Homo-oligomer: A and B are copies of this chain.
Amino acid sequence: MPARRKFWGWGEEGSGLGPEEVDALASLLRATLGVEPTALVEPPEVSELELAPPRIEPPAALAPLCRADGYERAAHAYGKSYRDLVRALRREFPAPPDLVAYPESEEDVSRLLEWCAEEDIAVVPYGGGSSVVGGVEPDVGAAYAGAVSLDLSRLGRVVAVDERSRSAEVQAGTLGPSLEDQLRPHGLTFRHYPQSFEYSSVGGWIATRSAGHYATGPTHVEEHVQALVVVTPEGVLETRRLPAGGAGPAPERLFSGSEGVLGVITRAWIRVHERAEHRAGATVLFDDFAAGAEGARAVARSSLRPANCRLLDPAEAMLSGSGDGSSAILVLGFEAADRDVGTELAHALELCRGLGGREGESRAGTAWRSSFIRLPYVYETLVRLGMLAGSLETAVTWDRFEELHTAVVEAIVTAGTDVCGGILVSCRLAYVYPDGAAPYYSFVGPARAGAELEQWDAIKEAASRAVLDHGGTITHHHSVGRDHRPWYDEERPELFARALGAAKRELDPAGILNPGVLLG
């Protein structure tokens, strides 16, 4: 029997940091924060949970697709945010889905939506379950007869590969590693690597406008989507496969970022690439983050197109094992399938040297990359060690970047000091553009048992206020979900909210799709 996913944390049961890694993490916390971690909280067992009985029962025809056991319901109750981990470790599961449905075809999705619309049952589309913003949490309130988590994992195949047009037709539930496994025999790759890569799906990426393609240029997944199939309560919508088009507003863009409220993305044609054969990478040290940001900006404005161009501040460099904490580090990487990219790297290094950068050990980049994919496991462990640990991200134009950055760090430090007594904040520029950057903030401080959610909310509130007040967006790539609603509502033009609401009423007249997310 293959290992199953943890219902309370990241990855498969049994996976995570080993004892030595936990000890090292604890030492790091002592050294950097001067706090003593708690003993590692024991993960919950399904048998410990007191789940309210399901309020609904599927009709006989749909019953074979549905599960209502404790494990399944608990595993679909939360995403993977700090608030989710804390509640799971507390054994608090007040609003699990009543049922988890596993459609095996688009027809199954249609039939499930039809039943739920008739019975006033909320439907929460579930891809890999990696949301950190409450996007898959079926806490839909008493207005619904119940809630179904619609798990798309059985729609996990690459259906067709069109090598001539270098594109692939993929079912929405395909997870990152499986997508790459299925493309590899064709010499192709999608090369989309959000931090959640291991446990996030193609459909989830598109529904949340995931980023992770490159660190520059077309970073977001929707820029690589050729066509979509969306199942709505009113029927199935399929767009035409086109390399580009200009016939009215692009239908794909209405569903990119729609977070399951307009329909269930079940299939996509995506643009894939030949696998890179040529690589060149380096790291550049800068005296501080501001100097490094100028270096990153110069590279982003140039005609070069690095696949990687991520700036780590000194704290981030140290915590990820990429540096000693004395410098900011710009991790540069170029790649191509068809030609040497050494000239591009040399040109980027020249730009950086002109701005005070000096070349560092290239090992640092590798350290950062492996730490990046490993981080969700570290994060889970931090919470189990009694730490308040989180991240938030935004994007802002360069003219306001410095001001925003200063304000966000200050907001986190002030609120964090207030509620935790002290907090460590680090930042990286996760993506850079000619016209701006997407800074990503991580923070860790001691949590107070029982008050974790209030501590978190205080920091998140302060940081989000700073983000919006200084021209940022509430999310560059984590999406809106339920958690970002107040700030999204403020950021989003009111007339656009009305237009979107009207579109939703047309496609989902019973209002069953992911209520509370984005709208309503």
Chain A interfacial positions (CB closer than 8 Å to B)? 162, 164-167, 208-211, 218-220, 226, 230, 232, 234-251, 253-259, 262, 271, 273-274, 301-303, 305, 336-339, 341, 343, 347, 395-399, 431, 433-438, 471-480, 484, 488, 491-496, 498-503, 505-507, 518
Contacts and interface: CB of A to CB of B under 8 A. Distances in A.
B492 A501 contact: no
A251 B502 contact: no
A163 to B, nearest CB: 9
Contact of A247 (B254, B273, B435, B492): B492
Given A245-B476, A473-B242, A503-B503, A165 B253 contact: no
Nearest to A479: B246
Contact of A167 (B244, B435, B496): B435
Contacts of A501: 506
B166 A435 contact: yes
A280 to B, nearest CB: 13
Given A238-B493, A246-B476, A271-B435, 6 more contacts: A236-B495, A247-B257, A247-B480, A249-B254, A254-B254, A303-B341
A471 B250 contact: no
A457 to B, nearest CB: 20
Given A240-B471, A247-B473, A338-B302, A397 B493 contact: no
B474 A247 contact: yes
Nearest to A246: B209
A81 B244 CA distance: 23
B166 A244 contact: no
B436 A473 contact: no
A165 B399 contact: yes
Contact of A257 (B248, B435, B478): B248
Residue picked from A246, A398, A494, A496, most chain B C-beta under 10 Å: A246
Nearest to A501: B506
Contacts of A471: 240-241
A414 B164 CA distance: 30
Contact of A495 (B166, B232, B396, B436): B232
A165 B246 contact: no
B399 A162 contact: yes
A148 B208 CA distance: 41
10 contacts: A165-B397, A165-B436, A166-B434, A167-B397, A234-B495, A242-B473, A244-B436, A246-B257, A250-B257, A303-B341
A493 B239 contact: yes
